[in-house]
Amino acid sequence: MGNPYLEGNFAPVRQEHTVTELAVTGTLPPQLDGRYVRNGPNPMSELDPDTYHWFMGDGMVHGVRLRDGRAEWYRNRWVRTSSATTGGEVRHRAGIELFGANTNVIGHGGRTLALIEGGMANYELDEELETVGPCDFDGTLPGGYTAHPWRDPDTGELHAITHFFGRGDIVQYSVIGTDGRARRIVDIPIKGVPMMHDFALTSKYVVLFDLPVTFDPKQAAAMTMPRPLRYPTQLVLSALIGRVRVPDPITAMIGKRMHPNDRLPARWNPKHPARIGLMPREGTAEDLRWFDVEPCYVFHPLNAYDENETVVLDVVRHPRMFVTDRNGPNEGPATLDRWTIDLNAGKVRESRMDDHSQEFPRIDERLLGRRNRYGYTMEAVGGGSPASSVLKHDLVRGTTVATSLGRDRQASEFVFVPNADDAAEDDGVLMGYAYDLPSGRSDLVLLDAGTMETVAAVHLPDRVPNGFHGNWIPTE
Ligand SMILES: [Fe+2]
């Protein structure tokens, strides 16, 4: 059987391009001055098609520079680890260098950062997407970060939850200032090493997702050891991981022996709880309150906010993950659900907002942690594969409009950029890559977020493989 992550637009591209003055159909809004950048896996080295999982390929960042109504350049560049040709190892306080950070790319404090979770090293890129080196926030946050920090719109600070199997039963909440240095780190004990891909932030609370997808010692042992040593290694890892801090030499050994482009060491774990944690933003782990939800998995919340005696949490909910198929996400439609946490009753009310299968939720990020009306997602078949439509949700009216980019086109994550600092909530553009099957190339497509009509398309010289997350980084 073929590996789905090596077929169609999941397949990696082999060439780095630099193209200037790109052809544009339509009109680029002249006030847009900056770069749209997006990260995704694009394995650099030889692959084993039997085991390759999409989440485990070297990052490649695809960027388009816009200014004065022109598309000045397109560049795609691998995120290069210091040890790109020698295999992964812990050489930096920044984290494990298994493969180039592949999950998100952001601008912060004048830097461009390629991000990944799980104790892996993050990387700084330059303006033209060349790798500068590992990033540990000037030494203030060693041992890895997350792909999903939330930027507080009031302060510009980055808030995050980080998980790493090497930290034992500890996940970390951190706040990174606008100077790019961590100013606050809170250790939070949580057992079992759940895969905490994202979190949420309201005006009052840090919101944690403790859901039943956990680190898999059996898979980690299979990835790192010759066959006769796998079972004893699994027993040792099972005994250590999620309970105590794993000694650095063992972490280093796992990092060194694990193959990039290998299976994902995560599994559905029915013994693990499914619960949401609320910790006051200035609190500690002792102030955490937990609220049970139906077992499921959430990679990405859309938004979260406080409302009277509740916390409203809108999420893209997968009914299951990595139960029967480690090649997921593909175990049922991922729907847009609302979890209303009743602080007085101690209960969560779960309701469905939209039952399209979808992923990659984004909002107008001036409203992160505040009540929002609109949300944008990408239609995703079976919870995973991209389809042709971008979805706009009106959460006040409870309506969803699906806008197809064309019958033979596939959408990706679309990010919202306001037309002005004080523009209304959907007065802006959505931008993201669209893959055109007949030509085998991609466009950067801009939609009017109000009407969902296409404003402009920047034509790229190659295709942009299906990837993860991106952002608009305005010129400072
Ligand atoms: Fe993500």
The reply to whether 300 sits in an annotated binding site is: yes
Is a pLDDT exceeding 70 seen at residue 237?
no
Hey, where are the domains in the chain? 1-143+431-476, 148-216+265-404
pLDDT band with cut points at 50, 70 and 90 for residue 177 = very high
Q: Tell me the three-class secondary structure of the chain, residue by residue.
A: CCCHHHCHHHCCCCCCCEEECCCEEECCCCCCCEEEEEEEECCCCCCCCCCCCHHHCCEEEEEEEEECCEEEEEEEEECCCCCCCCCCCCCECCEECCCCCCCEEEEECCEEEEECCCCECEEEECCCCCEEEEECCCCCCCCCCCCCCEECCCCCCEEEEECCHHHCCEEEEEEECCCCCEEEEEEEECCCCECCCCCEECCCEEEEEECCEEECHHHHHHHHCCHHHHHHHHHHHHHHCCCCCCCHHHHHHHHHHCCCCCCCCEEECCCCCCEEEEEECCCCHHHCEEEECCCCEEEEEEEEEEECCEEEEEEEEECCCCCCCCCCCCCCCCEEEEEEEECCCCEEEEEEEECCCEEEEECCHHHCCCCCCEEEEEEEECCCEEEEEEEEEECCCCEEEEEECCCCEECCCCEEEECCCCCCCCCEEEEEEEEECCCCEEEEEEEECCCCCEEEEEECCCCCCCCCCEEEEECC
Report the separation in Å between the CA atom of 148 and the middle of ligand 1, taken as the mean of its atom positions.
7
Quick one: CATH architecture of 148-216+265-404? 6 Propeller (2.120)
Residues, the chain? 476
Residue 275: which residues within 8 A CB-CB, separation 6 or more? 210, 211, 290, 291, 292, 293
Centroid of ligand 1 to alpha carbon of 38 (angstroms)? 12
Distance 197 CA to ligand 1 centre (A): 6
| pLDDT at 230 exceeding the cut of 70 | no
How far apart CA 88 and CA 95 sit, in angstroms, is 10
pLDDT in tens, 293-302: 999 999 999 9
Rounded to the nearest whole angstrom, what is the distance from the C-alpha of residue 430 to the centroid of ligand 1? 18
92 known member of a binding site: no
pLDDT at 226: 60
pLDDT digits (tens, 9 = 90+) for 99-150: 889 999 999 999 999 999 988 899 999 999 999 999 999 999 988 999 999 9
Ligand 1 midpoint to CA 227 (Å):
33
Cα-to-centroid distance, 195 and ligand 1 (Å): 11
- Cβ distance 454 to 409 under 8 Å? no
Q: Is the pLDDT of residue 376 over 90?
A: yes
Cα–ligand 1 centroid distance for 231 (angstroms): 32
Question: Do the beta carbons of residue 454 and residue 22 sit within 8 Å?
Answer: no
Q: What percent of the chain has pLDDT over 90?
A: 69
CA dihedral 361, 362, 367, 368 (to 10 degrees): 60
pLDDT digits (tens, 9 = 90+) for 406-426: 989 999 999 999 999 999 999
Phi and psi at residue 148, to the nearest 5°: -130, 65
Model confidence at 178: pLDDT above 50: yes
Span from the CA of 384 to the centroid of ligand 1 (angstroms): 12
Ranges 14-28, 245-259, 326-340, most confident: 14-28
How far, in Å, from the CA of 147 to the mean position of ligand 1?
A: 7
Tell me if 162 sits within 8 A of 148, measured CB to CB.
Answer: no
Please report the sign of the dihedral spanned by the C-alpha atoms of residue 179, residue 185, residue 190, residue 191. Answer: positive
C-alpha to C-alpha distance for 105 and 40, rounded to whole angstroms: 9
Of 226-240, 260-274, 275-289, 321-335, least confident by mean pLDDT is: 226-240
Q: Is 148 annotated as a binding residue?
A: yes
User: Do 411 and 434 meet the contact criterion of CB atoms below 8 Å apart?
Assistant: yes
Gap from CA of 226 to ligand 1 centroid (Å): 32
108 is in an annotated binding site: no
pLDDT, residue 78, reads 96
For residue 116, the CA-to-ligand 1 centroid distance in Å is: 9
- How would residue 87 be classed by pLDDT, with cut points 50, 70 and 90? very low
What distance in angstroms lies between residue 58's CA and the mean position of ligand 1's atoms? 15
Ligand 1 centroid, distance to 24 Cα (angstroms): 29
Exposure string for 61-89, b = 16+ CB within 10 A, e = fewer: bbbbbbeeebbebbbbbbbbbbbbeebbb
Quote the ligand 1 centre to 326 CA distance (angstroms): 17
